[in-house]
Chains A and B, each alone.
Chain A
Amino acid sequence: MATEASTAAVTATVPQRRRRKATVWHRLLRHRLFVTGMFLFTLVAIGAIFADVLTTADPQKMSVRTRFEPPSLSYIFGTDNFGRSQWARVLYGAQLSLMIGLGVVVLNAIFGTLVGALAGYFRSLDNILMRIADAFMAFPVILLAIGITAALGPGSINAVIALAAVYTPRTARIVRASVLVAREMEYVQAAKACGAGDWRILRRHILPNCMAPLIVQLTFIFAYAVLSEAVLSFLGLGAQPPIPTWGNIISEGRQYIREAPWITLIPGIVLAATVLGLNLLGDGLRDVLDPRLKVQQ
């Protein structure tokens, strides 16, 4: 009898879970802002992924004859002071920006979850881990990222490390808060009563229930990371020229902003559109996955 009931429960949960996923998707697709964000982000992502298909120009190839060409049919985004195609530079810049953003998100997901889960579940670790997180969060984000990249030396990888270090405590705090709620749930007690170990409880019962706020947070982290990377490379701490990043294109274009404003203008608009797209995605995900969080931001 008991086994029959449990198999019935197992077979019931599979379509149920699928149905739940389907309704989440439906609700997201009906969320106008989410769809707008999806559109913006997909546009930039396609530009980044298919950069070498969308342009045959070399983003680093200089040419004296084509200096300061304004946007036209032959040069969609114009050319810069070295006669390089801005279209190619912005596309390859998108590649780097999104890759750095993704790197920060992945590191955040791993270490944020790890630290947050440890602090939330093992109460003895909570105090020390959260004080360390507080100390990291006492520094203004960009200032600490600047300090770390200034010490490690400029470059994309170091920018990823610095931004991950700056944002991980923030992600860990969010994971911890959900773990604190989940660990008091009856199903956790039930699992404990069945003799499940700490790791199994964390992995199978607690963390899956902390996913919604984590996904929302990581979407926003993606947006912040892209924005902060642009600041770092604007200051000369990101990838070094001639490798194009949105930040260093804007920084180089700054001197010619009177004669050739498009050099500065276009990468800034693309950067803002990317961040806007990600913010919209985050808002949509938050509204649908976790309406309780709505008040906080």
Chain B
Amino acid sequence: MIAYVIRRLLYVIPVLFIVSLISFSLMQLVPGDPAVVVAGLSATPDEVERVREQLGLNEPFYIQLLSWYGNLLQGDLGTSFLLGRPVVEVTVERLPVSLSIALYALVLTLVFGIVLGIIAALRQNTWVDQAVMTAALIGVSLPNFWLGLILIVVFAVHLGWLPSGGYVDFREDPWAWLRATTLPAISLAMLQMGLLARITRSTMLEVLRQDYIRTARAKGLPEHVVVGKHALKNVMIPVITVIGIIFSLLLSGSVVIETIFSIPGVGSLLGSAILRRDYPVIQGGLLLVATMLLLLNLLVDVLYAYFDPRVRYDGD
């Protein structure tokens, strides 16, 4: 087990290195003179020069690369032009907001995705199965930003049940937090719910065909024990492996959803950084999110190996 964990760690290090290299390269993709782009077209030559100085753009490429890594190792991802504060600081302080919504969406995804998938599998080829699978497919195909707008019109504007935007901290007022985050969480979760319902259904069908299920039934166990205990445990294995992917999709959606619902999270920070060309925030935000996801996947892998010892010996 320890050997497995070490092997996974050794694998993450080169990937992290390339991830940071990709983040660094984003700035090199800016066509023309990035300093002019950042300073804006109406900037005076003096202002452009100051931006160039600030970004270190007058240094040769390898110096820029070295100083990027030098700063990175000290936990410094640069300073936001827009806010005039360190990127790490502004990202980290907004992280709890995004994570709390992502976790809410994750819970919705897991509960509805798994339950609907199991129901569909148990009623295979009936109208229930077809209805659930059609809904799942539509869920996978709906653009989340559009769904968010529709939910606002229906539940906030017409029915007036929930606020159309804004955010309240959970520690201040849990009920207000729930009201503020429900519509964004649903818009974020829809895609993953559909995806997970589909995965759960096909895994469940596979598992139900196994010999040990026949044995469980043959020895007279009631159906809810066969499904709830014997089958469910084995269905959960592939579900654990996709949690990393689900989380990645949730964070992917957060830029648009937080912008639509005016939620002060990392997503809306990136959204406004894009519009104002605040490159350090874009670079740093991307790097932080990718690193977080890599570590989450590492954790998922380790948990998976812990629960299913076969994985440890499989190698790559």
Contacts and interface: CB of A to CB of B under 8 A. Distances in A.
A297 B279 contact: no
Contact of B274 (A131, A150, A230): A150
How many A residues are at the interface, by size bracket? Answer: 35 or more
Main secondary structure of the interface of A (DSSP, over half): helix
Q: Is the interface of B mostly helix, strand, loop or mixed?
A: helix
Nearest to B247: A140
B286 A279 contact: no
A251 B12 CA distance: 39
Given A234-B256, A235-B256, A235-B274, A295 B153 contact: no
A227 B140 CA distance: 10
Interface stretch (B1-9, B226-234, B287-295): B287-295
Interface in A235-258: 235-237, 250, 254, 257-258
A138 B15 contact: yes
B248 to A, nearest CB: 5
Nearest to B238: A295
Contact of B256 (A231, A272, A295): A231
Contacts of B277: 150
Contacts, number: 145
Given A147-B282, A297-B195, A279 B141 contact: yes
Contact-residue size bin, chain B (C-beta under 8 Å from the other chain): 35 or more
A139 B137 contact: no
B146 A138 contact: no
B143 A131 contact: no
A254 B256 CA distance: 13
A38 interface: no
Contacts of B255: 142-143, 146, 235
A271 B146 contact: yes
Given A139-B289, A235-B275, A254-B149, 5 more contacts: A140-B251, A143-B289, A147-B286, A235-B271, A276-B137
Closest 10 CB pairs of A and B: A135-B18, A140-B252, A268-B146, A276-B141, A151-B29, A275-B141, A142-B252, A138-B290, A150-B274, A135-B19
7 contacts: A135-B22, A139-B289, A142-B256, A143-B270, A147-B282, A151-B29, A250-B143
